[in-house]
Amino acid sequence: MRIEDRQTPASITVEDLEVVFPPPTPDDPPAVAVDGVSFEINTGELVVLVGRSGCGKTSVLNVLAGLYKPTSGSVSIVGKPPLAARDHIGYMFARDGLLPWRTARRNVEFALEIRYGRSLSRSERKARAIEYIEKVGVGHALNRYPWQLSNGMRQRVALARTWAIEPDVLFMDEPFAALDAQTRAEVQREFLDVWTRDKKTVVFVTHDLKEAILLADRIIVMRGGKVVDQVSVDIARPRDENMIEEDPAYRSMHHRLIEGLQLDHVPSREI
């Protein structure tokens, strides 16, 4: 099987999703993490979920990825339940999770081994790993081990590993949150460069309102387990990280997000 031959369209439908966790003791009430959430995501759309800690955004992401079973409601990924759609899904966590005994290239190859097994030859896996590591700007570090890489380089390798399996849908849970501001801006640009070329469907979770506006086609705002607003980001791409705050559309959107989250005025990166 050639990865290029797969032509499956990607879209996401969530209807009346509810996630309730059992109480830790009989005297405690159940914890409602997600409460009646519904939305659709189009093929090739980059959607960002924002909200305070505990608002349910990561729980939604984990249900989409098949890591949680919903209490009620329905979820469809490329027309299938999440577990049946596993071959179409990639998931990038906040931590890079690189295997310390494998080089950068071999870490990316490992994801291909898991996803495709013998369907890809060793030479195809190697070529694909090199291709994606070069796409995210760390081609010079192919043969370095994780302990020899900076945090930013490690996240780039993790991004290459996730993208190399060519998922139809990519879930990203605050993947750049631990990076310093300059490195985060660089990795965001590299991520957008790859996304612009491949146009995968992406669901991205962040606390960072500026990051949300920089990246998203649409922002879904969550509060108290519910979707309280959906904001289309009608700012032309590419968006300049250094200049975007001067754009009146950005300021209006940022204010709307703060209102949706019921926050006092806060810096763009703090919620």
Would you say residue 42 lies in a domain? yes
Query: In b/e form, how buried is each residue of 113-126, taking b as 16+ CB within 10 angstroms?
Result: eebbeeebeeeebb
Domain membership of residue 70 as a residue range: 3-261
Bridge partners, residue 92, by sequence: 172
Which stretches of the chain score pLDDT less than 70?
Answer: 1-10, 263-271
Four-point Cα dihedral 61, 11, 198, 161, nearest 10: 30
Domain count, the chain: 1
Do 112 and 131 meet the contact criterion of CB atoms below 8 Å apart? Answer: no
Q: What DSSP state is assigned to residue 161?
A: H
Domain containing 129 — which CATH number? 3.40.50.300
Any domain includes 56: yes
Q: Per the domain annotation, does 224 fall within a domain?
A: yes
Examine residue 173 and state whether it is found in any structural domain, yes or no.
Answer: yes
Instruction: Kindly report the pTM of this predicted structure.
Output: 0.86
Helix (H) or strand (E) holding 88: none
In a domain? residue 168: yes
Q: Is residue 268 part of a domain?
A: no
Q: What are the tens digits of pLDDT across the range 78-113? A: 999 999 998 899 998 888 899 999 999 999 999 999
